[in-house]
Structure 1
Amino acid sequence: MKVLSLLFLTIFLGKGCNSAQAQEISNAVIEYEANTRGFYQKITVKNQMVTVSKDRDGNDKPTPTKISDADWKELVDCFEIMGLDSLSKLKAPSEKRFHDGAAIANLKITFKDKTYETTSFDHGFPPKEIKKFVNKINSFVKKE
């Protein structure tokens, strides 16, 4: 009986930790912005909702869309292993943005009243440390 109780308690506490971690990212505001002279896109993720704006002046009213539970779990997993303090020190793997070969992209995360921001990098070519996270965020944009 003690073994069964211990096993149940372990499973129960383990599930509690995962929901606490998911709660952590739901308090974060994630903004991914990419732009060139003729292109603008801003993806905002907050509390399992995503909005996409394609108007740099902010005149459009993007409709929030709910992120599926599977996609949200994958985003949470990426968020948990990402070092927020090191975001500003990441090096871009390419420099196409310097000659209009790619849009200029930035990732900004506001978490626990602190803002973490990357230096600019090429849209579509994020630093390898955040590649999976950025690609997941970009997957929420519907192709037109």
Structure 2
Amino acid sequence: MKLLSLLFLTIFLGKGCEGVSQQNIETAQLIYTANSRGFYREISIENHVASIKNDRKGKAVQTKISDTDWKEFVKLFQEVDLEEIKNLKSPTEKRFYDGAAIANLKINYAGKNYESQSFDHGFPPAEIKKIVTKINSFAKQNNEN
């Protein structure tokens, strides 16, 4: 009986924590920036809304993120090791000779700021590639509308 109670409690607490972490992303803010001499993009994601800015002086255009995209985004967010993000190395160095825009990912989560080192736009570190690709897909969807 004790074993059954312990098993039930473990499953119940495990599911409870899962819901809390997903709920906390509602308060997170992710900001992806990429810029070079002739290119600028800033994508800010917060609480089901993507704000996209395609020039330095322009106003951001806000787009609601669909529930399907948001669920996928939450899953990708949970895969990111926030403490390690500052140590990730760029796989390419095209930004050093104007071969690619300089990109950066900033995450404000649970009262802490996490920021990546700069990397080439279109060539993020493997550990954050999926979430960066998803963030950029919101800007592509906005351009199609």
TM-score (norm 1): 0.84
The structural deviation recorded for 1:26 is: 1.1
Map of 1:129 onto structure 2: 127
The structural deviation recorded for 1:61 is: 2.4
Shift >4 Å, 4+ stretches:
none
The structural deviation recorded for 1:22 is: 2.2
What amino acid is the match of 1:63?
V
* Structure 2: segments with no counterpart, 5+ residues: 1-7
Q: Distance in 1 between matches of 2:100 and 2:121?
A: 6
Map of 1:26 onto structure 2: 26
Map of 1:4 onto structure 2: none
Q: How many residues end up aligned between the 2 structures?
A: 135
Map of 2:48 onto structure 1: 48
What amino acid is the match of 2:41?
Q
Structure with the higher helix share, 1 or 2:
2
The structural deviation recorded for 1:20 is: 2.3
> How big is each residue's C-alpha offset from its partner over 1:49-74, in whole Å with a ceiling of 9 and x where there is no partner?
001001223xx222321101111111
TM-score (norm 2): 0.84
**SS of equivalent residue, structure 2 residue 138:** coil
Q: Considering only aligned residues, what root-mean-square deviation do their CA atoms show, in Å?
A: 2.1
Structure 2 residue 70 is matched with structure 1 residue 72: yes
**SS of equivalent residue, structure 2 residue 127:** helix
* Structure 1: segments with no counterpart, 5+ residues: 1-6
**SS of equivalent residue, structure 1 residue 92:** coil
